[in-house]
Homo-oligomer: A and B are copies of this chain.
Amino acid sequence: MAEQVKVLGSWGSPFSKRVELALKLKCVNYECIEQDLANKSQLLLDYNPVHKKIPVLIHNGKPIVESLVILEYIDETWRHNSIFPHDPYEKAMARFWAKFIDEKCNEGVWKIMWCKEEERGKLVEEVLQHFGTLEGQLKDKKFFGGEEIGMVDIAANFIGYWLGLVQEAIGMELVTRDKFPVLCRWMDEFVGHSVVKPILPPRDELLAIFKARFNATAWEY
B88 and A77 within 8 A (CB):
yes
Do A89 and B66 have beta carbons less than 8 Å apart? no
**A110 within 8 Å of B (CB atoms):** no
Check A91–B66 contact: CB distance below 8 A.
no
Q: Which A residues, 79 to 124, have Cβ-Cβ distances below 8 Å to chain B?
A: 88-89, 91-92, 95-96, 99-100
In the bound complex, how far is the Cα of B212 from the Cα of A91, in angstroms? 40
Tell me the bound Cα distance from A95 to B95 in angstroms.
12
A 54-89 contacts with B by CB, 8 A: 59, 62, 64-66, 69-70, 72-73, 76-77, 88-89
Q: How far is the CA of A62 from the CA of B90 in the complex (A)?
A: 11
Counting chain A residues whose Cβ lies within 8 A of the other chain, the interface size class is 20 to 34
Q: Residues of B contacting A89 with CB < 8 Å? A: 59, 62, 64, 73
Check if B69 sits within 8 Å of A95, measured CB to CB: yes
Is the C-beta of A133 less than 8 angstroms from some C-beta in chain B?
Answer: yes
Q: Does residue A38 face the partner (Cβ distance < 8 Å to B)?
A: no
Q: Is A1 an interface residue (CB 8 A)?
A: no
Which of B70, B76, B92, B133 sits near A70, CB closer than 8 Å?
B92
